[in-house]
Structure 1
Amino acid sequence: MATNSIEAQFVTFSLGDEIFAVPVEVVREILDHEEAFKIPNGPDYLLGLRDVRGQGVPTIDLRLKLGLSKTVPTPHTRVLVLDVPLADRLLTLGLVADRVFEVTPFRRDKIEAAPDIGVNWNSEYIDGVVRRENGFVVIINLARLLSKEDAAMIASRRAA
């Protein structure tokens, strides 16, 4: 069995044809999709609140946050309930994914830096990419994806 220094575990999921991953340690649970309780005046990617075992959890459409088209729920659509460590607290968040695949190990030495494409491109939320036979897996850094303003707004909506 490999040690933690060689491999890290990730939950893989899709948005359209693209595969993404988050570290397994931030994933609290994976739920079937259901409509969230709408919150007025939020950004378009904030779908609303979802009741998760008695806790109101803000739920976001990652597709919209990444500039893709809005999620159209299917029987495969899932919500990953995540505990995202921020500088000053732990942010619990629901993340809508088109499909969740598996928990899989990636060798740390196989995780490449976000590619430089020669233009101004916001890749700071990408922790790395992993090559697979059928393409790439993009590892998302959720703390960097959510700006300080996003995280504060989501936390204040949850408290409301």
Structure 2
Amino acid sequence: MSETAKGQGASEGQYVTFGLGDELFAAPVGLVREILTYQVPSRIPNSPDYLLGLTDVRGQGVPTADLRIRLGMAPTEPTLNTRILVLDIPLEDRVLSLGLVADRVFEVAVFSADQIEPSPDIGIKWRSDYISGVVRREDGFVVLIDLPRLLSSTDTVSLASFPDVDRAA
């Protein structure tokens, strides 16, 4: 693996692969607490457009985001394949529990360090800081998402401000 990819946080390991439209993404398996069948989150007034609301995860209200919207993709209607990945994302001062909506979840894949390439340089400035690397496959590329970077500090403050909702009562 190149020094660039190492510096961007890509490392050998297991990743949960999931799809958004025709694109394939992956998140480190260690961040994934569970994968849920899609349920409509409870709306939160005045939240960012990509924040769908709160999802009840075993009695805890977990902020749930539409990753398509966060990445600038067009929103889509949920299907029978739509899932919510419940993630525990380590930040500087805490762990953020967050649900991310994916069109579908495929598998847990193992990527070796020599398979992981740095994010591509396209010659112009573009928002690629959330990409920790890419993996080439026969059918295209898998984009490895750096979730702490995907959520800017403003976003994490906003998401962390929602209190846990005890719905078990």
Match of 1:103 among 103, 108, 122: 108
1:9 aligns with 2:18: no
Number of paired residues?
155
> Whole-Å Cα distance in 2 between the matches of residues 130 and 118 of structure 1?
20
TM-score by length of 1: 0.94
1:157 aligns with 2:162: yes
Post-superposition offset of 1:157: 2.1
RMSD: 1.2
Contact 1:39/1:157 (<8 A) preserved: no
> Whole-Å Cα distance in 1 between the matches of residues 12 and 161 of structure 2?
36
> Whole-Å Cα distance in 1 between the matches of residues 102 and 92 of structure 2?
25
TM-score by length of 2: 0.89
- Residue in 2 that maps onto 1:58: 63
> Whole-Å Cα distance in 1 between the matches of residues 164 and 85 of structure 2?
20
- Residue in 2 that maps onto 1:18: 23
Higher relative contact order (CA 8 A, sep 6+): 2
Match of 2:38 among 16, 33, 39: 33
Contact 1:80/1:97 (<8 A) preserved: yes
Percent identity of paired positions between Structure 1 and Structure 2: 63
> Whole-Å Cα distance in 2 between the matches of residues 159 and 43 of structure 1?
18
Gaps of 5+ in 1: 1-5
> Whole-Å Cα distance in 2 between the matches of residues 91 and 8 of structure 1?
22
Residue 43 of structure 1 aligns to a residue whose secondary structure is: coil
Residue 158 of structure 1 aligns to a residue whose secondary structure is: coil
Match of 1:49 among 37, 45, 54: 54
